[in-house]
Structures are given as structure tokens and as C-alpha cells.
């Protein structure tokens, strides 16, 4: 009797939660990106209350990665404030985040608070503080190059803070190599060509060659994604004849690193 | 006593036996600026040329005057005096005024307070002369001749009358004129009718005289404005440990909040002052974006600030006084919080901004405001989030054009970087360019979008820019511009066209 009642209660809780979360999110705790294949691979979308990492291997790809992170933040934050913590050096190396550009992507500059941290340590600490504040929609931490401060311990702290508050953390690593971490997903992003079209038609919508190299709860893959500025979601480009590498069926990325990280958990 | 004022004459004392003097250059000659007791006993006096002094006493020790250091020392002493009263005024070059109205009883009365102050200063090696009187000018006049005098209310005239006119501290010319007129003491001058004095020496001197006689008072101008709320904790034994200091701060924060709550106020600027036993004073200021009304918040802000100090709080031999004051306050509008989640969220965000700003500085946490200009690098103003958060959330940004790709880059260089470009003359799009030593071949280009500079602003020579949106063979999208228009802005030299400059200004996603 008691068991039946508890399960009824749980079902009701679940349905209320489903109604209250994002309209298009099917799975609680996940926000759909809009790209059908990627959402399927991520079991419904990007997990909230977790850390996600976005890497670029070269500095000149930083704008693409920034656009991808801005898109993720826009999906996840859903009209709530966004804190963008960045290291001073990234501004010199690849330009400052432009609010006009952000508005052009369909995001709202009014909801953005930028923190200009002098170095990685300050940036990390500020990001951890911000992640603990549950009024935020998302926190972006933008760091240049290999940073030894961003080790497994730091990553674990950020993850715990994100889990406790329900705020999603996005780590934007410019010109850096992936390191072991406790992130939920890890992406390597490059800019992709605009699809071939007639000479006079509009071109230049943000196109990403997004490679999912780590997914804690599923397989990985690689997709070409287009950010739809008007609808604020990722989508499959309509016509894209260029071949894309097939998604690997296994999860090859950095097996020893992952084993280490399991132990650390 | 209605108002209390007090003044000290401070000069550096030398323990050495040889007479010492300090000299400064005046009227193109080195003259004595200050001297010690031994030198005074030899008959030397301020204003005597150094050569004469050397003739009188060959073993004289001579030092150069350093007025900047003197002023700094006086300022440090004034800082130390803050522990007695918040109203301390400088009376350069040697004096300080302290308004001790309502403070003396905290130190066991006026006499005890003066003794305490003079003892500590004497122990540090300063020669002190102090007096307490109803008006600041009267007190200062007293210090010029006697030390430690307390003038009762209404007895000012009686006290200053026997003193020589030089004690008033008027101009040298006036003092000499008075002496030549046979008016040796202040009493002599006071006997004369005021209009005679005014006619001969000016209204300024008459006012000074009246103030010295207690017939009027000029307010002193304190070094710092009086804070709205002050709470403090004195320690019989100086405290050094961090735990005690932070516990004291929390307790003071609670007291401050109670005091402010009675008048419905919240603090926008908080100041913690740590008075060290050796006289050094450390001030730590925390600004907040919203009026703070909770003790935990104050406590946490100070902890963040103290953690992040580049030169940590050094207790030395310990702090004997910790003071917390709210120097800027605002009336708090009480809001019902429980039903409106949005208000709650905004408060949380403001509190987060305050915490981050307390640690890394208010100018490093910014919100963005649109500006009414076409020049890309000026289109957005980054303003401190603490002050402009509300303005930023209500700002109106230009709406994007539906169905168009982004027309402005996501990352913008603060300083456009010069690049080498191969492009069609006069205004064709670039075909190939070199940026940061890498060559990019342009596959698609769109433009030009012409941005003219604002001629109505005085800003020197700035040329019209032609912006191009380009994509290279790797799919990277850039925003480039050519600086200046052919024929009109780019001049020809000897019939040969000068190559225009091209710049990289931004990167598209």
C-alpha cells in the first residue's frame, strides 16, 4: 500500500518536472540541442548541472569554439543570467567576446555578466563561486593554452559545484589538448565551410565541425552542425554534400586517462 | 565644554648631544628651518642663515629639510589620531586639529585623553605641545606657548591675553607691524577698537583675533567625511590571530546591521580599519552593488577581500582597535521575497557580483551597455556590474535582421591587427591575405560595408572603413577592413598610388 503510494507520488513528481522543464526537452535534466543525431547520441540532449568541455586545437579556431559554447549556453541557460569568466590573455590572443556578435547569434547580451580574470587561478576560483550560485543559467570559463591548474581535482570541484547548484558549467579551452577530467561531455570544435549555394544567396551562418570525443553515458560521434540564429538551436545543415568522417562505433579516446579518472572518483 | 578642539605641535627630536638643525633654501640662501633644544640654547633661531649658525657653533649637525616626508609623517599621525575621534583635520605644516566633542569620556575625560595622546607621541620621539579649548584657533594659539593647557568654556579671552602676538600665527608682516605699534601681547591688541585693527591689518586678522578670544568659531575641515555608522571594538591586549580578527569583524558586522536596520538603511560602502599598536593603520574598503542589510553578507565580503589581498593584513605586534564603518548608505525598500522568484534571482546575482568584485576588483566584473554609434569597437560599453546591473538588464539592443547570417563578428579585436592583402583596386574584396604569418585564400567574400567615422567628434584623423566578410578555404570566417577610400582619402604621391592599409578586426563563429 505504502509502496504503491510512493510510486504514484514519484510518477507525479516526474510528470510535474517534465512539464516544468523546457518545452522541447524530453528527458528531465537534459536540454536538446536541436541536432537530431547528436541528441540521440546524448540520450536526449546536453545534461544540465554538469560540466562540458569544448576544445580547439589551434588558436585561429577560437571563434568557432566560442560560437559553439555560446550556442550551448544559449540552449542551457534559457533566459537566465549567464556568467562568462575569461582570462585576460584570451582577449589579446583571439579578441574579446563582442556583444553585437552575440546578439547576432540570437542570444541576449542583457543577461551576460563578464568577469575579467587576470590569470587562470583567479578565473578558476571565480568560476567555482559562480557555479555555486543557483540563480544562474550557465557559467562559461574561457582559458587559453595548457593550464596545469585545470587538473582532475579542479575539474572535480567544478563538477561537484555544478551538481549541487544545478547550474551548467561550460569550459572553453582555446589552443589546448584534452586532459583527463570529470566532464560529462568533451567536444573538439572546428569551423566548417558554408554549404555551397548560389553566389547571391546569404552565406555565413555559424557552421561547426563538432566532434564529440567523450561522452560519459554513451557513444561518441562527429557532426556538422549549423547554429540557427533565428530559432536559437543547432540543426543539420540542409544541403551539405561534403563527406564527413563516419562516427566511430567504439569509444577510443584516451582509455588510460579514463581509467585513472575512475579511480579518482 | 561645547566644542573641543586641540592642536599639537610636532617636530622631530634628536637624542644626539650635538646641536642639530634642519636647513632649507629660502631667498636663495640656506636658512634654519627647524632646530632642537641644544641648538636653541646656543642662541640659534629659525630663519638664521646657515653660515651664521656655523660661525656660532662649528660642530653643528645639519640636515636638509624634506617637506614631503614631513607631510607624510603628519598624515600618519593624523591617521593614528583617528582612533580618538573621526574628525581630524590637518593644520600644515606642524599641527593637527581634533574635534573631540563627545569623545573625551571614552578615554576618561579631557585631561586623561590629552595625557594619553601626548605620552604615546612622546614615546615615539616627537615633541608635542597640546591644548584643549572651545575654538580651534584658541587651542592652536595656546599650543604655541604652553603645553597641556585646558581652557574652560568662556575663559578663552583670559587665557590668550597674556600671550605674545606671534602666537596668533598671523603673517610675519602683521606680527612685525603690531610689535612696531607697541602692541606686544594679544591682550594689548584686544583692547583696541576692532575697526582700528581692521583698518590697519585687514578683516582677516580681526576674524582670527576674535576666534582666538572665543568670540566665534571657524569649523575645521576634517580629512575624511564622517561615516554614517561606526562600530568599533577596542582590545586591552592587542590581537594578532586571524580567528579573533575575523570573529571580531563578524560581531561588528552584526552590530552595524542592527544600527542601520533601526533607520531602514543598507550599506553601499563598508570600511574596516585596523589600528596597530605601533600606530600603523590599515584600511580595507568593500563596495557593494546593492545596499547590504545582512551581517553574513558583510562578513563574507570582508573574508573574500582579506583572502585576496596582495599584501596581507600584517598584525605586527597586534591590533588594539578594529573599527567597521558604513561610509555610504542607502534607504532599503523592503520587498516581499517569497512569492516572486525573479526578485530572488536578481538578489542572488547581485550578491555573487559583490563577492567576485570584493576579491578581484569592481572594474573586472562588467555588464554591457549598447552605445549609439556605428564604429564597431565603440558600439558596446563595458560598465562595472555593481553599479549598472539594472541599467544593463533594461538596455535596448538593436534587433537582428531575421533570416540573415550574423553581420557582426563574435570575437572582436580591441586593436585591429594589420594584415597584408591582395585585393582588386579600387574597392574589390580581398583575394588572399596574410594574418599572423599564415596565408589565407579567400573563397567567399561579401562587402564592402562602409563605416564612416564620426566627423562631429574631435578625434584626430580617422579614415572611412570598408568592411568585408570573408571565408577562407578552411571554413574560417573573418571580418576585414580597408582603411580609407581610394582617390579621396588615400593620397597619391608623385603620381603613384599609395597602398591602403588593411586590418583584421574580428572573427565570426
Q: Which residue has the cell 510528470?
A: A15
Residue B436's region, left for phi above 0, alpha for psi from -120 to 50, else beta, is left
Q: Which residue has the cell 567576485?
A: B356
Q: Pick the range with the lowest mean pLDDT from A154-158, A175-179, B374-378, B457-461.
A: B457-461
pLDDT of amino acid A251: 53
Other CB atoms within 10 A of residue B38 CB: 18
pLDDT of amino acid A258: 46
Assess contact for B442 and B433: CB atoms under 8 A: yes
Residue of B nearest to A109 (CA): B368
Q: What are the residue boundaries of the structural domains of chain B, listed by start?
A: 5-18+60-212, 229-331, 352-398, 411-508
For the cut 90, the answer to whether the pLDDT of residue B342 exceeds it is no
Q: What's phi and psi for B374, nearest 5 deg? A: -95, -15
Interval B186-209 mean pLDDT: 89
Assess contact for A125 and A87: CB atoms under 8 A: no
Say if domain B5-18+60-212 classifies as CATH 1.10.287: no
Interchain CB distance below 8 Å, B412 and A83: no
Interval B33-40 mean pLDDT: 86
Arithmetic mean of pLDDT over chain A = 84
* CB within 8 Å of B399: residues ≥ 6 apart: none
Q: Which fold has domain B229-331?
A: Dna Ligase; domain 1 (3.30.1490)
Q: Pick the range with the lowest mean pLDDT from A108-122, B34-48, B250-264.
A: B34-48
- B343: chain A residues, CB-CB within 8 Å: none
For the cut 60, the answer to whether the pLDDT of residue B178 exceeds it is yes
Assess contact for B401 and A205: CB atoms under 8 A: no
Interface check B382 vs A, CB under 8 A: yes
For the cut 70, the answer to whether the pLDDT of residue A243 exceeds it is no
For the cut 70, the answer to whether the pLDDT of residue A17 exceeds it is no
* Per-residue pLDDT tens over the stretch B272-312: 999 998 888 899 999 888 888 889 999 999 988 888 887 88
Q: CA of B484, closest CA in chain A: separation in Å?
A: 23
pLDDT of amino acid B10: 43
Other CB atoms within 10 A of residue B146 CB: 13
pLDDT of amino acid B226: 87
Across the interface, which of B364, B409, B474 has its CB nearest the CB of A101? B409
For the cut 80, the answer to whether the pLDDT of residue B329 exceeds it is yes
* Per-residue pLDDT tens over the stretch A95-111: 999 999 999 998 999 99
pLDDT of amino acid A210: 94
CA–CA gap between residue A240 and residue A203 (Å, rounded) = 13
Enter the C-alpha cell of residue B68. 614631503
Enter the C-alpha cell of residue B101. 566633542
Q: CA of A6, closest CA in chain B: separation in Å?
A: 29
Say whether B229-331 and B5-18+60-212 share the same fold: no
Q: Which domains does chain A have, with CATH numbers?
A: 31-192+201-264 (3.40.50.300)
For the cut 50, the answer to whether the pLDDT of residue A260 exceeds it is no
Q: Which residue has the cell 640656506?
A: B30
For the cut 80, the answer to whether the pLDDT of residue A73 exceeds it is yes
Nearest 5°: CA angle at B8, between B5 and B13?
170
Enter the C-alpha cell of residue B492. 597619391
Nearest to B402 by CA among A202, A34, A240, A99: A202
- In percent, the amount of chain B with pLDDT more than 90 equals 34
Q: Which helix (H) or strand (E) holds A102?
A: helix A99-104
- B410: chain A residues, CB-CB within 8 Å: 63, 66-67, 70, 97-98, 101-102, 104-105, 206
* CB within 8 Å of B77: residues ≥ 6 apart: B8, B10, B96, B121, B126, B279
CA–CA gap between residue B57 and residue B43 (Å, rounded) = 10
CA–CA gap between residue B226 and residue A144 (Å, rounded) = 46
Confidence of residue A249 (pLDDT cuts 50, 70, 90): low
Confidence of residue A20 (pLDDT cuts 50, 70, 90): low
Window 67-96 of A: residues touching B by CB (8 A cutoff) are: 67-68, 70, 80-81, 83, 91, 94-96
**Global pTM value:** 0.76
Nearest to A86 by CA among A77, A75, A96, A72: A96
pLDDT of amino acid A240: 58
* Per-residue pLDDT tens over the stretch A226-238: 999 988 899 988 7
Question: Is ipTM strictly over 0.90?
Answer: no
Q: What's phi and psi for A212, nearest 5 deg? A: -90, 110
pLDDT of amino acid B341: 57
CA–CA gap between residue A148 and residue B101 (Å, rounded) = 59
Amino acid at each position: 500500500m505504502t509502496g504503491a503510494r510512493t510510486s504514484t507520488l514519484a510518477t507525479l513528481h516526474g510528470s510535474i518536472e517534465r512539464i516544468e522543464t523546457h518545452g522541447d526537452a524530453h528527458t528531465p535534466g537534459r536540454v536538446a540541442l536541436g541536432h537530431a543525431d547528436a541528441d540521440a547520441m546524448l540520450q536526449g540532449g546536453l545534461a544540465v548541472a554538469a560540466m562540458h568541455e569544448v576544445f580547439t586545437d589551434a588558436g585561429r579556431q577560437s571563434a568557432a569554439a566560442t560560437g559553439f559554447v555560446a550556442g550551448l549556453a544559449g540552449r542551457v541557460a534559457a533566459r537566465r543570467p549567464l556568467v562568462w569568466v575569461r582570462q585576460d590573455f584570451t582577449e589579446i590572443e583571439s579578441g574579446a567576446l563582442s556583444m553585437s556578435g552575440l546578439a547576432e547569434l540570437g542570444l541576449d547580451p542583457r543577461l551576460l555578466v563578464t568577469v575579467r580574470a587576470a590569470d587562470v587561478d583567479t578565473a578558476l576560483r571565480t568560476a567555482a563561486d559562480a557555479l555555486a550560485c543557483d540563480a544562474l543559467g550557465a557559467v562559461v570559463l574561457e582559458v587559453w593554452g595548457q593550464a596545469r591548474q585545470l587538473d582532475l581535482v579542479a575539474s572535480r570541484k567544478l563538477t561537484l559545484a555544478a551538481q549541487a547548484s544545478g547550474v551548467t558549467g561550460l569550459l572553453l579551452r582555446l589552443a589546448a589538448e584534452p586532459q583527463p577530467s570529470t566532464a560529462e561531455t568533451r567536444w573538439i570544435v572546428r569551423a566548417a565551410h558554408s554549404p555551397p549555394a548560389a553566389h547571391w544567396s546569404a552565406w555565413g551562418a555559424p557552421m561547426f565541425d563538432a566532434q564529440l570525443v567523450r561522452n560519459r553515458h554513451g557513444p561518441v560521434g562527429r557532426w556538422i552542425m549549423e547554429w540557427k540564429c533565428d530559432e536559437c538551436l543547432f540543426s543539420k545543415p540542409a544541403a551539405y554534400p561534403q563527406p564527413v568522417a563516419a562516427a566511430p562505433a567504439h569509444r577510443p579516446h584516451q582509455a588510460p586517462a579514463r581509467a585513472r579518472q575512475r579511480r579518482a572518483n | 565644554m561645547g566644542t573641543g578642539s586641540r592642536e599639537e605641535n610636532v617636530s622631530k627630536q634628536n637624542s644626539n648631544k650635538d646641536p642639530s638643525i634642519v636647513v632649507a633654501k629660502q631667498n636663495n640662501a640656506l636658512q634654519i628651518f627647524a632646530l632642537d633644544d641644544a641648538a636653541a640654547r646656543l642662541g640659534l633661531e629659525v630663519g638664521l642663515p646657515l653660515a651664521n649658525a656655523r660661525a656660532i657653533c662649528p660642530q653643528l649637525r645639519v640636515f636638509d629639510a624634506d617637506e614631503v616626508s614631513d607631510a607624510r609623517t603628519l598624515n600618519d599621525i593624523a591617521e593614528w589620531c583617528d582612533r580618538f575621534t573621526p574628525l581630524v583635520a590637518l593644520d600644515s605644516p606642524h599641527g593637527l586639529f581634533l574635534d573631540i566633542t563627545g569623545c573625551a569620556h571614552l578615554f576618561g575625560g579631557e585631561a586623561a585623553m590629552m595625557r594619553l595622546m601626548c605620552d604615546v607621541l612622546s614615546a615615539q620621539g616627537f615633541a608635542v605641545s597640546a591644548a584643549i579649548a572651545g575654538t580651534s584657533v584658541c587651542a592652536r594659539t595656546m599650543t604655541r606657548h604652553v603645553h597641556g593647557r585646558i581652557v574652560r568654556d568662556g575663559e578663552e579671552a583670559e587665557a590668550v591675553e597674556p600671550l605674545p602676538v606671534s602666537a596668533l600665527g598671523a603673517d610675519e608682516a602683521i606680527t612685525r607691524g603690531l610689535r612696531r605699534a607697541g602692541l606686544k601681547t594679544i591682550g594689548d591688541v584686544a583692547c583696541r577698537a576692532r575697526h582700528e585693527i581692521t583698518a590697519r591689518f585687514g578683516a582677516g586678522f580681526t576674524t582670527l583675533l576674535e576666534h582666538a578670544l572665543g568670540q566665534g568659531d571657524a569649523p575645521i575641515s576634517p580629512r575624511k567625511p564622517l561615516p554614517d555608522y561606526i562600530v568599533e571594538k577596542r582590545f586591552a591586549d592587542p590581537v594578532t590571530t586571524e580567528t579573533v580578527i575575523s570573529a571580531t569583524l563578524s560581531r561588528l558586522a552584526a552590530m552595524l546591521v542592527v544600527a542601520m536596520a533601526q533607520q531602514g538603511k543598507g550599506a553601499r560602502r563598508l570600511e574596516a580599519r585596523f589600528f596597530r599598536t605601533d600606530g600603523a593603520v590599515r584600511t580595507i574598503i568593500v563596495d557593494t552593488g546593492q545596499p547590504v542589510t545582512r551581517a553574513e553578507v558583510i562578513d563574507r565580503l570582508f573574508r573574500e577581500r582579506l583572502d585576496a589581498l596582495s599584501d596581507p593584513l600584517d598584525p605586527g605586534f597586534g591590533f588594539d582597535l578594529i573599527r567597521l564603518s558604513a561610509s555610504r548608505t542607502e534607504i532599503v525598500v523592503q520587498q516581499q521575497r517569497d512569492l516572486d522568484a525573479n526578485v530572488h534571482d536578481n538578489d542572488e546575482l547581485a550578491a555573487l557580483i559583490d563577492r567576485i568584485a570584493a576579491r578581484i576588483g569592481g572594474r573586472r566584473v562588467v555588464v554591457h551597455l549598447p552605445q549609439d554609434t556605428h564604429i564597431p569597437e565603440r558600439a558596446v560599453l563595458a560598465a562595472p556590474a555593481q553599479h549598472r546591473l539594472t541599467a544593463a538588464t533594461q538596455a535596448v539592443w538593436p534587433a537582428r535582421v531575421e533570416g540573415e547570417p550574423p553581420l557582426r563578428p563574435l570575437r572582436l579585436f580591441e586593436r585591429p591587427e594589420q594584415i597584408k592583402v591582395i585585393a582588386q583596386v579600387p574597392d574589390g574584396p580581398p583575394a588572399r591575405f596574410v594574418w599572423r604569418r599564415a596565408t589565407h585564400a579567400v573563397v567567399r567574400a561579401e562587402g564592402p560595408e562602409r563605416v564612416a567615422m564620426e566627423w562631429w567628434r574631435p578625434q584626430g584623423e580617422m579614415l572611412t572603413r570598408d568592411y568585408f566578410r570573408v571565408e577562407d578555404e578552411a571554413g574560417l570566417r573573418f571580418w576585414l577592413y580597408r582603411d580609407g577610400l581610394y582617390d579621396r582619402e588615400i593620397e597619391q604621391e608623385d603620381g603613384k598610388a599609395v597602398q591602403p592599409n588593411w586590418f583584421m578586426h574580428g572573427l565570426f563563429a
